[in-house]
């Protein structure tokens, strides 16, 4: 009876092992919330670093919330890379992407509700995408005035490639095994260091869901079609470029790091040799104990 119950529970866990909106919500809630606080207070209640910390800690707690259910799939680009590596089924990818985008949309809507009065006061009641009182950037990324579309693609490819290299390294037990609870913290640290070093060009989206979900919210909530026209039609860059960058970062890590790990047979041989060497050192200098043969029959 107990075995049948365990089997049923295991089957239920496998069948329900899909992402859902709750997983991406902490990332967007804390990230967009910090952006809303900094923007509407005109840098009085935080600065650019506050936004970086908000997104970094949002990733950390998003991983803690969801890793026991879905393995913490917060980013479609990461899910795509895991599918390419054969570590995640392709069949589940569309469902994961859908719920990741939905989670980001709901989180943006929550921030919009929470900061509604502040956004109205700051913008004078006019929801704009560009200009001195623009507020669309609270929710999605937009390029700096000097950045071209091609420059934005390069920016997002490099940033997301760096993110995937860090994520794969942190999860690679044959490279640098880490305590289980430390991995989410270091993933958040990776997002933080990318933000403080690569964030000024376009806001380091690195995540198609993190950008598309809130952009859809702003389109519906009153910012209008300008959220897709601004920046020379920028909206597709944070969707396509992170996927390309994630695959590139995965390829670099596989070719430069993972293929150079010793095989399991080599590890077994080296461990056996180390054990024999240790045994030899322990016996070195110890005289064998000789026992006289007994004369008794």
Say what the pLDDT of residue 195 is: 97
> Residue 297 in 3-state DSSP?
coil
Contact (Cβ atoms closer than 8 angstroms) between residue 160 and residue 210 = no
Say what the pLDDT of residue 228 is: 97
Q: Which residues touch 40 (CB under 8 Å, ≥6 apart)?
A: 115, 118, 119, 121, 122, 135, 138
Sign of CA dihedral 246, 26, 24, 121: negative
Say what the pLDDT of residue 2 is: 40
Say what the pLDDT of residue 260 is: 83
Q: Please, what are the domains in the chain?
A: 20-258 (1.20.1080.10)
Model pTM score: 0.82
Say what the pLDDT of residue 273 is: 57
Closest of 143, 163, 140 to residue 153, by C-alpha: 143
Question: What is the Cα–Cα distance from 272 to 265, expressed in whole angstroms?
Answer: 10
pLDDT mean by block of 10 residues, the chain; 297 residues: 39 40 74 97 95 96 84 89 94 93 95 97 96 97 96 98 95 84 94 96 96 98 97 97 98 92 63 53 44 40
Radius of gyration of the chain, Cα coordinates, nearest whole angstrom: 26
Say what the pLDDT of residue 47 is: 93
Closest of 106, 103, 136, 114 to residue 215, by C-alpha: 136
Contact (Cβ atoms closer than 8 angstroms) between residue 106 and residue 139 = no
Contact (Cβ atoms closer than 8 angstroms) between residue 73 and residue 93 = no
């Amino acid at each position: 009876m107990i075995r049948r119950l365990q089997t049923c529970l295991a089957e239920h866990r496998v069948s329900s092992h899909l992402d859902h909106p709750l997983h991406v919500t902490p990332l967007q809630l804390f990230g967009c919330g910090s952006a809303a606080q900094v923007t509407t207070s005109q840098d009085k209640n935080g600065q650019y670093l506050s936004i970086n910390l908000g997104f970094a800690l949002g990733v950390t707690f998003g991983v803690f919330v969801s890793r026991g259910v879905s393995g913490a799939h917060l980013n479609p680009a990461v899910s795509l890379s895991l599918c390419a590596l054969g570590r995640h089924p392709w069949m589940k990818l569309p469902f994961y992407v859908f719920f990741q985008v939905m989670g980001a949309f709901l989180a943006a809507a929550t921030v919009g509700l929470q900061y509604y009065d502040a956004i109205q006061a700051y913008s004078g009641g006019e929801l704009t995408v560009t200009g001195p009182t623009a507020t669309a950037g609270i929710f999605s990324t937009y390029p700096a005035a000097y950045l071209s579309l091609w420059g934005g693609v390069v920016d997002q490819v490099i940033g997301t490639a760096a993110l995937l290299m860090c994520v794969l390294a942190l999860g690679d037990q044959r490279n640098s095994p880490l305590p289980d609870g430390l991995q989410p913290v270091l993933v958040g640290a990776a997002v933080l260091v990318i933000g403080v070093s690569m964030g000024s060009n376009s806001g380091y989206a690195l995540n198609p869901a993190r950008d598309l979900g809130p952009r859809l919210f702003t389109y519906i909530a009153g910012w209008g079609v300008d959220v897709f026209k601004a920046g020379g039609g920028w909206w597709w860059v944070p969707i396509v470029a992170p996927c390309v960058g994630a695959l590139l970062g995965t390829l670099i890590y596989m070719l430069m790091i993972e293929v150079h790990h010793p095989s399991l047979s080599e590890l077994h041989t080296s461990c056996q040799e180390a054990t024999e060497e240790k045994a030899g050192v322990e016996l070195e200098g110890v005289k064998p104990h000789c026992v006289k043969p007994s004369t008794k029959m």
